Amino acid sequence: MADSKAKPGVLLDIRNLRIEATVYPPGEAPKNIVLVHDVSLTLEKGKVLGLIGESGAGKSTIGLSSMGYGRGGVRITGGEVILNGRDILKGGKEGFRKLRGREVCYVAQSAAAAFNPAHRLMDQVVEATLLHGTATRAEAEKRAVALFKKLSLPNPETIGERFPHQVSGGQLQRVMTAMALCSEPDLIVFDEPTTALDVTTQIDVLSAIKDAIRDTHVAALYITHDLAVVAQVSDEIMVLRHGRLVEWGGTRQIIKEPRQEYTNALVSVHEIEHQEQNPGATPFLSVKNVTAAYGGGHVKVLKNVSVDIYPGQTLAVVGESGSGKSTLARAITGLLPPEQGTVTFDGRPLANRLADRPKEDLRQLQMIYQMADVAMNPRQTVGTIIGRPLEFYFGMRGRERDKRVAELLDEIEMGKGFVDRYPAELSGGQKQRVCIARSLAAKPKLIICDEVTSALDPLVANGILKLLLNLQQHEKVAYLFITHDLATVKSIADSIAVMYRGEVVRYGSKSKVLTPPFDAYTDLLLSSVPEMEIGWLEKAIKGRRMASAGN
């Protein structure tokens, strides 16, 4: 099969890959855009190449091109993809089908969505193996069970009988890795396999993937936007931006001695200097012994939680998904009336239910959400969106309102030109800025930020954090900052509450909470945050005192 172009030991050789797509802007003629501009890469057998970049950098598109797959009408229009010595782009549809699931397998970002809810796990895991006829069903299932064991899944003998909804997200991600390994491919494309997981679960999955790659000698393309994660598993790293190659080198070189400015920006992201403020004399908002539950009191999600927020300061609430962080916000805003306990504001208790609170109380507490695009009415302009709280709370109209909208746009570092734009015409970071401006328009004392940077690329998220800190200085607004990302917490918090299964397990000023000795959970949380250092993963796994809840 090998032709003269093949280099010995090289599994995948992509040459001058060009990928295009046709976009249909409303009211305009369809136009062609180039997603990937003549990118080349080579991958040796058994090696791992990390593809890193922000969203839109073309990393997934390049990864999928190794399977001849284009998502949603994306077309490969130039270059060669040489896999095992032949150009797969010349093989046609039949050729693609023969290599997919056989030579190259894929691990998706969200295994929870990538498994078919209607079939048992085992049927899905062995499907590709049986389809390509590389093993009998009995052999394939034996292989799958061995892989479940290797990926340290609980009950490896019987987990295959379960349906996807009966297994946790972290476990599903490992089952998906087993699914990819089951047909013994030469190459696996990992597409952000740990991004959707909690940091404490991510570390388990990451280490399972790393061990599996090492033991099976499979080669991998590891796609992520998190440099610290990719540094743990890759031999080499390729940095991409806007569909072009920025830098390609050994892992150590990329993270220690980046040669390009953009790589350097990625490496040093999150380094925001924030001087912790001492708590003032009296908090303006106190949550006292709040207990809250869903399902008519059956599922307790907050247990006896007490925290204080001081004027102009930031309280960060950290914990993994299901720890009750967002529920705390819902209890404070009155969306979920607490069963017990009180929320006091300016020395007086707030009504439990949102409907019982006067307009003035509503104005004082504003929220910003993770998904900026669904938090805005897509049919309203930026001006209308920001102007609405001005009309609603202050009765501003006409020129007065427009002037204030312009001021607010200025504050979020967006020009006047955005007033007439619709949300769909904004980037992710700009959308979040508009949401910030909308909450500021009410002149609140407290803004609750629920994972506001989680859906954003690191550099954009960094910009948002800096903006929030600046605004805090000017407007003296306090933040309740909900996040699962400890690096963010370090950049922005004055005090921290660590939550675990509905309880606050550690609470105090930032320096106090982040200084040892730690309780077991805080230790797990802190030690699970990937660090940009080769060998960090092994060290972290070794030093752990408790298993993560995702297992």
Partner 1 sequence: MSSPILKLIAQRVALGILLLLAISVLIFAGTQILPGDVAQAILGQSATPESLANLREQLGLNDPAYVRYFHWLGGVLTGDLGTAMSSGQDIATSIKGRLWNTLFLAFWAAVVAVPLAIILGLIAVRYRNGWVDKLISGLALASTSFPEFFIGYLLVYFFAVKWQIFPAISTVYDGMPFGERMQAIALPATALTLVVLAHMMRMTRAAILNVMQSAYVETAELKGLSAFAVIRKHAFPNAIAPIINVVMLNLAYLIVGVVVVEVIFVYPGMGQYLVDHVTKRDVPVVQAVGLIFAAVYISLNIIADIAAIVANPRLRHPK
By the criterion CB under 8 A, which residues form the site for partner 1? 67, 69, 71, 96-102, 105-106, 108, 110, 113-119, 124, 127-128, 131-132, 162-163, 165-166
Q: How far apart are CA 1 and CA 535, in angstroms?
A: 38
Q: Whose Cβ is closer to partner 1: residue 221's or residue 409's?
A: 221
Full DSSP string of 130-181: HHTTSS-HHHHHHHHHHHHHHTT-SSTTTGGGS-GGGS-HHHHHHHHHHHHH
Residue type, 168: S
User: Residue 175 Cβ, how far from partner 1 at the closest point, in Å?
Assistant: 12
Q: How far apart are CA 179 and CA 101, in angstroms?
A: 9
Q: How far apart are CA 369 and CA 482, in angstroms?
A: 10
Q: Whose Cβ is closer to partner 1: residue 104's or residue 525's?
A: 104
Q: Whose Cβ is closer to partner 1: residue 46's or residue 70's?
A: 70
User: Residue 247 Cβ, how far from partner 1 at the closest point, in Å?
Assistant: 29
Q: Whose Cβ is closer to partner 1: residue 98's or residue 539's?
A: 98
Q: Whose Cβ is closer to partner 1: residue 168's or residue 454's?
A: 168
The 10 Å CB-count burial string (b at 16+, else e) for 487-505 is bbbbbbbbbbbbbbebebb
Q: Whose Cβ is closer to partner 1: residue 105's or residue 153's?
A: 105
- Quick one: which of 506, 550, 28, 16 has its CA closest to 320? 550
User: Residue 541 Cβ, how far from partner 1 at the closest point, in Å?
Assistant: 28
- Quick one: which of 199, 483, 514, 465 has its CA closest to 325? 483
Q: Whose Cβ is closer to partner 1: residue 113's or residue 546's?
A: 113
Q: How far apart are CA 335 and CA 327, in angstroms?
A: 9
User: 10 Å Cβ neighbour count for 394?
Assistant: 15
β-bridge partners, 481? 316, 449
Cβ–Cβ under 8 Å, residues 185 and 218: yes
User: Residue 140 Cβ, how far from partner 1 at the closest point, in Å?
Assistant: 13
User: Residue 72 Cβ, how far from partner 1 at the closest point, in Å?
Assistant: 9
User: 10 Å Cβ neighbour count for 13?
Assistant: 20
User: Residue 101 Cβ, how far from partner 1 at the closest point, in Å?
Assistant: 4
Residue type, 422: Y
User: Residue 548 Cβ, how far from partner 1 at the closest point, in Å?
Assistant: 19
* H helical segments located in 187-257: 199-216, 227-233, 251-256
User: Residue 123 Cβ, how far from partner 1 at the closest point, in Å?
Assistant: 10
User: Residue 546 Cβ, how far from partner 1 at the closest point, in Å?
Assistant: 24
Instruction: Write down how long the chain is.
Output: 551
Is residue 539 exposed (0-12), middle (13-18) or buried (19+ Cβ within 10 Å)? exposed
Q: Whose Cβ is closer to partner 1: residue 173's or residue 352's?
A: 173
Q: Whose Cβ is closer to partner 1: residue 127's or residue 519's?
A: 127
